[in-house]
Amino acid sequence: MPTFKIEEQDNNTRLDKFLTAQMPGSSRSQIQKMIKDGAVTVSGKKISVHRFLKNGDIVTVADGKLTTADKKIKPTTTPVDIAPIKTTTKNKIELLPKIIFEDDNILVIDKPAGLLTHARDEKLFDQESTLVHWLIKKYPTIKKIGDKPELRPGIVHRLDKETSGVMIVAKTQVAFEYLKKQFSEHLIKKEYCAWAYGKMPSNYGIINFPIGRSEDGGKMAARPNSPIVDEDDKTAITEYEVIKQLPHRALVKIMPQTGRTHQIRVHLFALNHPVIGDPMYQSKSYKAIPSERMLLHAHKLTFIDLAGGKKTFTSPLPDCFNI
């Protein structure tokens, strides 16, 4: 049986999306049917189409079910000493950003969900296609821009892999320093939209919970109603406004006042109203609402350009938000 071991670069990737990348000869609907029919198991168990994979999971496809047109992919036939699956930049980049605006200094894009902004470190640089790979290919001179151009050239802020929406990129070092200063002084205004579980406690609120690294490693954790006592904890403030409240979910406009890792996701989780589709921060208080991705979108970004003018750019809500 063809077997794949999930490595760090595919952590939190949805099962059907992972197999679609590994089986280009099969359509996504065919793969979803295979999963529903029980022809695919994860670590020996039958699972749902919407299962998010974890580092170390073993994905097995029943004999005769795998159709792959890519001869470079060689799934192992035993679960012992399984070779890691590596997605390299040689593979076709299927997720591409859309250009909203650009001039000689800046680039404003609409990032799709599922596209990683940049690799976590240089060793993983070519493990997965990222926004940075696209930037370097389209704008070769950007390689030298930034505070760590060998890893994240031109990147002045980031969106999580499963978050979509508007981002700004610096095309020159002058623009990079100028925008970085605005971000550090909280002058750049960001507005997100998210579907959250449950009935929000109020139509408007400000979440002021410090955020630090969780004890279980990869996650972040909010510290509700407590002062910063750990040197690794950081002040984090999130303003929200309910756009639409339904019986079991709410569409929420979110205005983060700080920019901590996973801030919106962690703050909503701390309120017990996690983002629908979030693979990391979920509550057992709610029956899962099916979604094809995490329903968090960077809708609007406002900043001052190098000429001193106020600029606002928006990205419309994706179709998947119509749930």
Active site positions, annotated: 160
Q: Indicate the length of the chain as a whole number.
A: 323
Q: What are 2's two structure tokens?
A: 């063809």
Which of 181, 180, 241 lies closest to 205, judged by CA?
241
Exposed/middle/buried for residue 156 (C-beta within 10 Å: 0-12, 13-18, 19+): buried
Instruction: Provide the phi-psi class of 64: left if phi over 0, else alpha when psi is between -120 and 50, else beta.
Output: left
**DSSP 3-state of 236:** coil
56: left (phi over 0), alpha (psi -120 to 50) or beta: left
Beta bridge partners of 4: 59
CA 178 – CA 172 distance, rounded (Å): 10
CA-to-CA separations, 224 to 50, 104, 132, 253, 270, in angstroms, rounded: 31, 44, 35, 21, 7
Kindly report the backbone phi and psi dihedral angles of residue 173, in degrees, each rounded to the nearest multiple of 5, phi listed first. -65, -35
Handedness of CA 228, 230, 236, 242 (dihedral sign): negative
